Structure 1
């Protein structure tokens, strides 16, 4: 049976519906392209209230699956030697953005190249909680995110390891805007969306709404295991993270981009294709639990490459609160796909669906196909966060049970500032210390539970959109019975906490 025939069969439809039910995914849309032929389908719900079915024209936030277009945007500048001769893969970012691209280490400032920012090998930690959303009093832009790099500590020497950093893709868009004079949204429109006929695709959901597409945007959902129910929310605008995500598209539109890449159509030339797919980093050279018949994953520029049964798979996933996505193609087989879902549980679901389609294309005998549904695909399925007991032992090894809070909470209440992470306000609410940081791009709130010494705490971090919870270490530095510094475990790649100094009353510093 031809792949497209199977894709359009009742057998395939039943398989997708079972997966949605098993994985608690409200809606899933898929599009495939095989030897130039395209087919698409939608399953389940784009929204429960009001009820709307998921179709191939439903619009999703594809999160980091946007990065392939960001890398391609810079690649277009690299290709244009007449207008942008200075923009090359090996060009220094500080030479291209001399006033804006400054890192804490002078050697890294001078050495980081376009290649480095596109392949996550700058040595910069993610610092995802450092940038400010439109909910903040002074929201970040691509330029301010770039200029803030000088206030954020590096986690490794340049090119010493792969370290995924969303901010560097936002930096890439700042370079595009500076060189072309266009907003990144307009650049994408002019150079990709319009030429490829992606009429429903936009950067940021508000741009889609402004064009009358709001009723086609899927609601994002988080599955709550304890309540066995969904929490729904609308995907927000994230201009401070443009380039790293926030493309709003459908499978009917985005399969056109996959087809263009695979067949070198439209803006994709042979040299642009090779430049984007040149492997640059090994994502996890020490990885021990590889998927069956699967190689290590290499990062190119906005695309990942792995080999399955000896065949190259070019792909990139996306994950953000309420949405999971992937797009991929197999160059040898002229087969590609886009799979988009509207829940956090869609992240493993799209991975399973992708692998099952790949087995189909490769004509792997059924008896030799792995049970992809049994594999733990993402951190969503694994509880990698430390338990409360583990974190307590780490903070206070000699403390078996939390000690009582003795200092008044007023001793900790106040404003605290870190140049790179901006300002946080510690409040006292319901007899607990509390921080409202919903002004961040990844907005969150913190509630503090005392562990010991009147200075060591476990902070419960809750995402403001999907309610995801994690425990992080927190520590106050006390002087004369009053807090003067606050340290928070906001960056896993850093050994130290992120330290905020208390702002003195009456000070604007």
Structure 2
């Protein structure tokens, strides 16, 4: 079949969509083991130069980072500004999203070592309010919540309904009509519900709100004075989303406080204290055995208790919400720890890029040169403008196109029309496509309109252009003289 200009453009749209939605996935920074001779330690100046260059190249409004080694902070600093124009520093609070899961796991381990939670006991024995229509819920252990092998998955629960919860009690109650995707303990599936249920268990076992427990047993002992789980206690810097390279201040959607999956607000300086503790050099919130358990994979997947694990011994976790990204990483063998926070989200993840570069520096290697996203931004903007232009041209030329169809086979004409509806179909299926590309994570439309706004707008224009041309061509075909039908 002959490829029309609009068909060629559709191919470009789909390619760009693949790049954009793939950027929504949460991935780890690749790493390789260091050689037998220890590398030269990175200097604060080298780290600062790299981060300053990356901030400038990426264009992200605010970026903060910390590098620790054993019990020392090697470098902690901030770059850029918030929506009010205030400079971002190592003490600027930001949401760290799913990095919160490591803190939730620590809270559970503390209570387990206090004898108030049975890590390998059934959740429903310790949290009777947890009920589901699936009887297998009674088989889930607390450990399986933390290593995400409980059987809970985004595909088996009503994520949109849970997002409407007004409290953690309400959140757990809304699970009553949901099911499990698999038998507990058989499959790893990343699902926020695991940690929000675990946070409710912390409340029941401790008699405190989840945020208060973290403040007393985690933040306080570590000296994390700039950390909390509620923005009325610690207000994070205002966040941004990127639109074709322009950073737009946007409010973070509201949800109930103290979420165990994504609620922590903290600073790069405080994350330094956390990383020192997680490499075994802090005040020891949990025993060495507890720390080892957190960093050990389940055997079903490569996830420990609130930490992803790698074959080279490194541990990490990343996170994103609508206008913030964060990542943490530790190497217990070398004692290094890294955390990167930003108050801007776009189609690329600058925290991941920063982590890769900082890991290289800790290993005596040269990081990849800092690169921006301008080519991608320009490409998406050009695709959007091109879609609109092709739509205008297609509508104006519809009568001439219909005239050329005289004598052509109906099936050929039909194929030329069906292709025009494809961008609209992709747009409608975009949440499902994002779920497929990210291995089962749920991305409702509000998330896509923050994280992938340029791609969504590009697809919207392509869809409208395609449908406009389709309608014009059908109308032109129907207006042809009766004797000229193909």
Report the TM-score, using the length of structure 2 for normalisation.
0.66
Which residue number in structure 1 is paired with residue 270 of structure 2? Answer: 253
Q: Secondary structure at the match of 1:104?
A: coil
Provide the rounded CA distance (Å) in 2 between the counterparts of 1:195 and 1:51: 33
Which residue number in structure 2 is paired with residue 211 of structure 1? Answer: none
> 2:360 matched to 1:330?
no
Alignment partner of 1:233 out of 215, 237, 250 = 250
Provide the rounded CA distance (Å) in 2 between the counterparts of 1:470 and 1:186: 39
Provide the rounded CA distance (Å) in 2 between the counterparts of 1:349 and 1:183: 33
> 2:172 matched to 1:146?
yes
> 2:51 matched to 1:16?
yes
> 2:130 matched to 1:96?
no
Which residue number in structure 2 is paired with residue 122 of structure 1? Answer: 150
Which residue number in structure 1 is paired with residue 313 of structure 2? Answer: 312
Provide the rounded CA distance (Å) in 2 between the counterparts of 1:247 and 1:78: 21
Provide the rounded CA distance (Å) in 1 between the counterparts of 2:452 and 2:353: 23
Q: Secondary structure at the match of 1:170?
A: helix
Q: Which runs of 5+ in 2 are unaligned?
A: 1-38, 374-378, 381-386, 388-414, 423-441, 458-486
Which residue number in structure 2 is paired with residue 74 of structure 1? Answer: 108
Q: Structure 1 residue 63: deviation in Å?
A: 0.4
Q: Structure 1 residue 27: deviation in Å?
A: 1.4
Q: Report if the CA contact (8 A) 1:303-1:315 is conserved.
A: yes
Q: Report if the CA contact (8 A) 1:223-1:229 is conserved.
A: yes
Cα 1:22–1:249 shift into 2, 3 Å: same
Q: Report if the CA contact (8 A) 1:46-1:342 is conserved.
A: no
Alignment partner of 1:170 out of 196, 204, 226 = 196
Q: Structure 1 residue 315: deviation in Å?
A: 1.2
Provide the rounded CA distance (Å) in 2 between the counterparts of 1:340 and 1:47: 13
Alignment of 1:438-453 (within 5 A): none
Which residue number in structure 1 is paired with residue 232 of structure 2? Answer: 206
Which residue number in structure 2 is paired with residue 287 of structure 1? Answer: none
Q: Secondary structure at the match of 1:332?
A: coil
Provide the rounded CA distance (Å) in 2 between the counterparts of 1:346 and 1:241: 28
The alignment covers a number of residue pairs equal to: 357
Which residue number in structure 2 is paired with residue 272 of structure 1? Answer: 290
Select the structure of larger CA radius of gyration: 2
Q: Higher RCO, 1 or 2 (CA under 8 Å, sep at least 6)?
A: 2
Q: Deviations 1:346-398 (Å, cap 9, x if unpaired)?
A: 9622222222222222234x4xx7789799xxxxx99xxxxx9xxxxxxxx99
Q: Which has the larger strand fraction? A: 1
Provide the rounded CA distance (Å) in 1 between the counterparts of 2:288 and 2:456: 45
Q: Report if the CA contact (8 A) 2:134-2:178 is conserved.
A: no
Q: Aligned Cα RMSD in Å? A: 3.3
Provide the rounded CA distance (Å) in 1 between the counterparts of 2:138 and 2:171: 18
Cα 1:71–1:42 shift into 2, 3 Å: same
Report the TM-score, using the length of structure 1 for normalisation.
0.63
